[in-house]
Amino acid sequence: MKNEAYLKDLEKCVRCGSCKAYCPTYDENETEAMGARGRLTLLRELMLHRLKPTPLLNDRIFSCILCGACAGLCPSNVDITEDIYKGRCILRQNDKKRRYLGNLAKFFVQRPDLAFRISQVLQYILFPYLSKKGFIPAGFNLPAAPFKDGQQVYKVSKPRGRVAIFTGCSINFLYPHLGMSLINILLKAGYEVVVPSGEVCCGMPLRTLGMEDEAREHAKKNVRIFGKLKVEAVLSLCPTCVLAIKNQYPKMIGKGISAAKDVSSFLLDKLDLHQLSLIAKRPATVTYHDPCHLIYGLGIKNQPRELLKTIGVNVIEKKQEGCCGFGGLFSLSYRDISNNLLQKQIKSHSETGAGTIVTACPGCMMQLSKASKDKPVFHIIELLEEAYCGSNEL
């Protein structure tokens, strides 16, 4: 977005305040500048040169969790989250505080295999400390190997279709077993599955830090790689990745991965639901946690619930919906807000009396697992695999 177009978008705001209704950061701190309306006002004043960047102004813009809860509420169609990304890109130039975080993020996303190997070596010293500080769940360990190992093609006889998996960093390096669960389901459903080599981080950690040029390079690489594949869908277990590659890339580089789909909607559409209901083994009572980028960003609310009900799982709705406080790097930078949001969600889950929490995002899974002492937290794909393939011991 060029500066003129940017200012024009900021000026579309009529200051009605509707965007504050579900804003988690405003909910935590009822200061105008902690909600979308206030943040957009600050950015407009910045663009009109009536405000200068200060640490406080930067803090207000970088404390947005980018959950997107405000996005669909604006009657003037202000592209709120895009405006915040753009504002961060402008402010980042002089933000010393985030330089360190930016360099760290760049190292991790640009050399992920090296970062993984270093983390593997250090985890026995580092992870107990990080867990004590509340950054990761207690007892969390890295897997023995990442999910991806060059190009992988999983074949079936007489395939009904061909799909690709966009792995994303969290599945690749933290939860590879979830990627295997998805592959097992797809193979059983008769799909040939390709996991291409060369995929890079979707770029969102860089974008949230205002590193727009670097994020664009990631977008271009991914579009090039997935654009070559002849597949009917590109599936990801991470809603942030789907939101990025499908909806944000066109705004960043003019082209996205249009075949990208969230797994719940794809599987609900393609799996034999009758067969699922017949072989469901373990009826359970769960609460489902809506990942922000899935519900607000991609508009997917009913499909995961329908899938769970179809496999015989009893879903109890919690009273208070909301962000778990993860927000990628947000949980590192704004620990108090992140932790308060997490505690609210854990309380809300506990009040239902359900024994298990299910979500559809590896980031939410990591965050909820930090505070959910007595209830296991699963990704929906794990329950689906158990029901559909009967192979995963939960």
User: β-strands 356-359, 191-195: how paired?
Assistant: unpaired
Tell me the C-alpha distance between 342 and 308, whole Å.
Answer: 23
- Judged by CB under 6 A, which of 6, 9, 24, 226 binds ligand SF4? 24
Span of 8-16, 87-95, 281-289, 360-368 interacting with ligand SF4 by CB under 6 A: 8-16
Is the Cβ of residue 66 or residue 193 nearer to ligand SF4 in the bound state? 66
Number of H helices, E strands in the chain: 21, 9
Is the Cβ of residue 10 or residue 260 nearer to ligand SF4 in the bound state? 10
Residue 209 per-residue DSSP state? T
Residue 21 interacting with ligand SF4 (CB under 6 A): no
Residue 68 interacting with ligand SF4 (CB under 6 A): yes
Please state the closest distance from residue 288 (CB atom) to ligand SF4, in A. Answer: 20
Contact between 147 and 183 (Cβ < 8 Å) = no
| Neighbour tally for 18: CB within 10 Å | 15
For residue 311 the two structure tokens come to: 């496999």
DSSP string for residues in 21-73: TT-HHHHHS--GGGSHHHHHHHHHHHHTTSS---HHHHHHHHT-----TTGGG
Please state the closest distance from residue 30 (CB atom) to ligand SF4, in A. Answer: 12
Residue 286 interacting with ligand SF4 (CB under 6 A): no
Residue 65 interacting with ligand SF4 (CB under 6 A): yes
Three-state secondary-structure class, residue 135: coil
Residue 69 interacting with ligand SF4 (CB under 6 A): yes
Span of 22-30, 127-135, 269-277, 340-348 interacting with ligand SF4 by CB under 6 A: 22-30
Residue 64 interacting with ligand SF4 (CB under 6 A): yes
Q: Tell me which residue of 143, 223, 233, 149 sits closest to 186, measured CA to CA.
A: 233
Please state the closest distance from residue 219 (CB atom) to ligand SF4, in A. Answer: 20
Is the Cβ of residue 67 or residue 189 nearer to ligand SF4 in the bound state? 67
Span of 64-72, 217-225, 241-249, 258-266 interacting with ligand SF4 by CB under 6 A: 64-72
Residue 70 interacting with ligand SF4 (CB under 6 A): yes
| Neighbour tally for 393: CB within 10 Å | 5
68 in the Ramachandran plot: left (φ > 0), alpha (ψ -120 to 50) or beta?
left
Is the Cβ of residue 35 or residue 179 nearer to ligand SF4 in the bound state? 35
Please state the closest distance from residue 17 (CB atom) to ligand SF4, in A. Answer: 5
Please state the closest distance from residue 40 (CB atom) to ligand SF4, in A. Answer: 5
Tell me the C-alpha distance between 190 and 76, whole Å.
Answer: 45
Is the Cβ of residue 196 or residue 325 nearer to ligand SF4 in the bound state? 325
With b meaning 16 or more CB within 10 Å and e meaning fewer, what string describes 66-75? bbbbbbebbe
72 to 101, contacts with ligand SF4 by CB under 6 A? 73-74, 76, 78, 80-81
Place of tokens 């929490």: 357
Name the site residues for ligand SF4 (rule: CB under 6 A). 13-19, 23-25, 35-37, 39-40, 64-70, 73-74, 76, 78, 80-81
